[in-house]
Structure 1
């Protein structure tokens, strides 16, 4: 239940679509800035912005009913911003939520899934706009974990409340193993990971996830 599921080199993992040609006078940096602004506009759009006010809900009753209530609540959060999520990925996400909330696989010492954590996860996906699906799991404290992998390289992100994430990265660059970690707001993820060339972790050609 709490294990993670088994995510061309582009300028940034946060580009919305491939850039085929740059017209004269248009720099790659200006293209990147435009993409970042488009991502931020999505994050500030009414349905996505409203996810920031999501609170953890009580789930009374026996464990089976508690998990059923949580699964429905989590699906409702994703459904509220379905226009920003790929249909096939959303379907797979719902199946994964059912697996996470399966009472037969539930570990007794694990906290119930957090709606606040899940809303941060969804907002992060909408903002980062990766082109590779992440593995998704649940930490013992009820927070959602997402991971992207490329060979031996890996980045894992724990979604906290209020748009905060805790990230850790392991990456080989120029033959040297680099390890990094931190805690930031979701809009800072591109900046703090840029030095580690995260494109191969987040990108899957030009296929779009969200």
Structure 2
């Protein structure tokens, strides 16, 4: 191989290395931009979630106080529906806050003893007015529970059920939505069953 060919080969290798280094630098810069954008989005979601929660808490508090007054039946129903809607909205805002925590790697899953009957009853309290306001009915069944307490993260379970119930309300034009808590005979674990007459089903 002649000297000029070696020089050309060396020049090509050198240029290739320069291109690789430049591409590597570009990718690093793009990665840093993506991380910065993701952090900015997470920070924005967290800030907005906190900002929105304050007025929603005010609405919930005011409606709760108003609900204690002696009201006409029609007014009481409207107040109860508005209160339930505000609480569901608060749940949605909390979900957004959790999303920002997931992206930041800060989301934690807890495990505490909870009363499943109280848990289901609370969901019923929040959702029944909204469900009935749409002309649907809600049926809750805990008769097949052998034990009332189990360990779980109530916030995460409630988020899952809220999502399914919100979809049930959104996509069901008529019929009954059922939420059932039961003890599985195979292993004694607590199960949750959600269904509508249209065949939607959730089991956990």
TM-score of the aligned structures, taking structure 2 as reference length: 0.33
**Which is bigger in relative contact order (C-alpha 8 A, separation at least 6)?**
1
- Structure label with greater radius of gyration: 2
Determine which structure has the larger helix proportion and give its number: 2
